[in-house]
Amino acid sequence: MFGFGKAAAHKEIAPAELNAMLQADEVLLVDVREPDEFAAGHIPGAINLPLSGFSPEAVPHPGDKTVVLQCAGGKRSGMALEKCGKAQSAIDTHLAGGIGAWKAAGLPVVQG
């Protein structure tokens, strides 16, 4: 009975850790916000797979990179991680605080 119905723990990484991983080309960053949000500003190198149609199977094969999910503040990326867990995907990491935390850390954002 212990743990029944309880979500598996998700790994959270801080903006500085994600930035280091991006600089070392060790991460496939997936932004699960909607296309208009993504176009208004996103983390350099991120790909956009909106939560509204998110499927773990749609995430490109990362090779030896770690897949990290990200949204505005962490809620939607957590929901996407739940979908990954149900699909028995190996994806289990997201950016703590989302792009809001990334911006607060003074890290770069691109538009388009």
Q: pLDDT at residue 8 above 80?
A: no
With a pLDDT cut of 90, the percent of the chain lying above it is: 89
Q: Which of the following is catalytic: 71, 80, 95, 101?
A: 71
Cβ neighbors of 10 (< 8 A, separation 6 or more) are: 78, 81, 92, 93, 94
Nearest partner of 79 among 94, 67, 57, judged by Cα: 94
Q: Give per-residue pLDDT as tens, 69-95.
A: 999 999 999 999 999 999 999 999 999
Structural domains in the chain, CATH included, are: 11-104 (3.40.250.10)
69 vs 7, higher pLDDT: 69
Question: pLDDT-derived band of residue 9, with 50, 70 and 90 as boundaries?
Answer: confident
**Is residue 71 flagged as an active site residue?**
yes
Residue 10 has a pLDDT of 86
